[in-house]
Structure 1
Amino acid sequence: MISPRPFRMNIFPSGPFRFLALDVETANYRAHSICQIGIAAVRPDNTIETWTTLIDPEDDFVANNIAIHGIRPEAVVGAPRFAQAFRQLSPVLSRHLIFQHSSFDSRCFAAAAERAYLDPPEWTWSDSVTLARRVWPELKGAGGGHGLGNLKKALGLQFRHHDAGEDARAAAEVVLRAEAHTGLDFTALIKPPRRLSAVR
């Protein structure tokens, strides 16, 4: 039997932030089985601070998911449960726009909150996949399209895929690269495509 080890959740960095990007990894195919949360916080000068924590999913790990992210059951022994992380993060997440790379992460947060008998998070989400499709339409269908793996190659991003903190930082960098490429603020880029006539 594995004895619980002391585990102190990292303190979230203090703002101000322009926006956040969030990513999760799961223990199995069930959306509520979050085993890692990563958040990238983008400051006004566009520097990025990354926060990450392991989560005890209170659920089984399956081999397919372990093969993707490398997190094993023993790694989360003594780690906080989702409810603890949710309560720490909610005050910050509720005040900022949160980018996710596809809708997977918000679905997981909603499912985990429901399972923990928490009110569903009423946060403002945006999708960096949708943003990337608008800014780099030429990548559609090209060796992975607008997934992080292909954007890593196309944009020259440096990160370790399927680590929640690294993937969150990569999603934030996609947004920053899109701003630099178009000369537009992210608030303009997430509006309907007809507003993007200035995109080069």
Structure 2
Amino acid sequence: MNDRPTSPAPDRTGLRHLGELPEGRFRFLALDVETAGRGIGSICQIGLAFVGFDGRIATWSSLVDPCAPITRWTTRVHGLTDADVAGAPVFAALFPELRPVMEAYPVVQHSRYDERAFDAACRAIGAQPLRCPWVNSVTLARRAFPELRGNGGHGLANLKGVLGLDFRHHDAGEDARAAAQVALAAEARLGHQRSLGPLHDQLRFDF
């Protein structure tokens, strides 16, 4: 694969995410995770969005066996059940492939929940946390769209309507795409064309 993939077939969630991590160079990545509700490190789905230099976004997603039952409350949030993650890889099996990819780029997250979840999952398997520049798209949205403070706020659900985003909330791949779109929209609003620059570039926003 390369950084301009063709349209993938629907995955087991019915959404069109890549089945393999794409190759190539990207401006930045965006991450979202869903958890089983048994602690913040109980990741049951990982989604990554790969943002090209032309602004195109490709998403990869994988279900993850959290090695613990998924609570009924979290199922009501993201729709995933124990049956969905049965036979999925555990975090320890996925992480060695994810680490070099994620550490090569700035990684956007919408709030710091995803970073904390990854840190907790790493601790659970005895691995060092990711060493990558983390970018909070909530911070970017607050700077770019201050008029939303007290007027729906800067959560993905409200930004979906305000910015006209098209995604299924609480699917990790879709939410990763949305976080990337929020970062791009904030960049366009603020006029910082190099704010989330290419491989290992210094970030232009002062986080």
Fold agreement, TM-score > 0.5: yes
User: Which of 13, 29, 43 is the aligned partner of 1:34?
Assistant: 43
| 1:17-166 matched pairs, under 5 angstroms | 17-143=26-152, 145-166=153-174
Deviation at 1:29, TM superposition (A): 4.7
Structure 2 counterpart of 1:79, one-letter code: A
Q: 5+ unaligned residues in a row in structure 1: which ranges?
A: 1-8, 193-200
Matches of 2:100 and 2:113, distance apart in 1:
21
Q: 5+ unaligned residues in a row in structure 2: which ranges?
A: 1-17, 197-202
Confirm or deny: 8 A CA contact 1:42 1:49 kept in the other structure: yes
Confirm or deny: 8 A CA contact 1:126 1:190 kept in the other structure: no
Deviation at 1:177, TM superposition (A): 1.2
Higher helix share: 1
TM-score by length of 2: 0.85
Two-structure CA RMSD over aligned residues (Å): 1.4
Q: Which runs of 4+ in 1 moved over 4 A?
A: none
The alignment partner of 2:179 has SS state of: helix
The alignment partner of 1:13 has SS state of: coil
Confirm or deny: 8 A CA contact 1:20 1:96 kept in the other structure: yes
Structure index of larger Rg: 1
Confirm or deny: 8 A CA contact 1:23 1:168 kept in the other structure: yes
Deviation at 1:181, TM superposition (A): 2.0
| 1:161-200 matched pairs, under 5 angstroms | 161-185=169-193, 186-187=195-196, 190-191=205-206
What are the Cα deviations for residues 107-140 of structure 1, in whole angstroms up to 9, with x where unaligned?
A: 0000001101112222210100000000000101
Deviation at 1:189, TM superposition (A): 5.8
In structure 2, the partner of 1:196 is: none
Confirm or deny: 8 A CA contact 2:30 2:177 kept in the other structure: yes
- Answer with 177-186 or 17-26: which moved more: 177-186
TM-score by length of 1: 0.88
The alignment partner of 2:111 has SS state of: coil
